[in-house]
Structure 1
């Protein structure tokens, strides 16, 4: 499988949680992923502010896409750990996540993700560690 086929065979972001939270890919490359997500009633916690889980989902989605773009054709990336510092409350608007790699290794990757509001204010700083494993589910080296 070529790198082109590998990249185009990724699960489309229009499915699953990405679709539910209305995430959109703006830019994607092995060195940078930019995604947006609106803040709607579905993204809020009971007190009317952005739910931290929604921003973490955006951060991990951007990091995972970037990590996948750095994987060899027979490998995939899975989130192992993510942390997030929620720095500013948000009630509405469009968020932009920018993910950049801090480490791209053979078996793991670490990505920095910054989420900003429409005024370009940093609302969340996140770091995600991803495992790089075989895309063949029968490969016992994954155990």
Structure 2
């Protein structure tokens, strides 16, 4: 693996861009935030509450899937810039533990940044730092004109 590429957008810039092109992620309240961007990585937080729970009181799989996908999108945008039409081509997730409601942090790392595809690794951790899910995601980048 080569050295991490420097980001071209900061966490606040990625957040503002997501608000512009993907406002539906905050339609039910402001419970998602881009915390940090650094070379090759981005961290996204979801404050999981009652609407994110499955029967039994744990955070649902679809919620963690969404968080993994959003973290991958955030790290990619942070490193390639404002390319709204970058899209998920594959996402694989393993659920490791049943997280309780509260903060879930997803750290996405770029494994390979190519001209047309980006491969990422995402670790989702609960507020105690335990990894509750692990995902890999591949995104397609549209050709630049």
Q: Which of the five TM-score ranges fits, normalised by the shorter chain?
A: 0.7 to 0.9
Q: Which runs of 4+ in 1 moved over 4 A?
A: 72-76
Give ranges in structure 1 of 5+ residues lacking alignment: 137-143
Q: Which of 101, 106, 129 is the equivalent residue of 2:110?
A: 101
Q: Distance in 1 between matches of 2:108 and 2:49?
A: 22
Is 1:86 matched with 2:95? Answer: yes
Give ranges in structure 2 of 5+ residues lacking alignment: 1-7
| Counterpart residue number, 2:48 | 39
C-alpha change, 1:103 and 1:62, in structure 2 (3 Å) is: same
RMSD after superposition? 2.6
TM-score, L = length of structure 1: 0.79
Q: Distance in 2 between matches of 1:100 and 1:82?
A: 14
Mapped contact 1:40–1:92 kept (Cα < 8 A): yes
Of structures 1 and 2, the larger Rg is shown by 1
More strand by share: 1
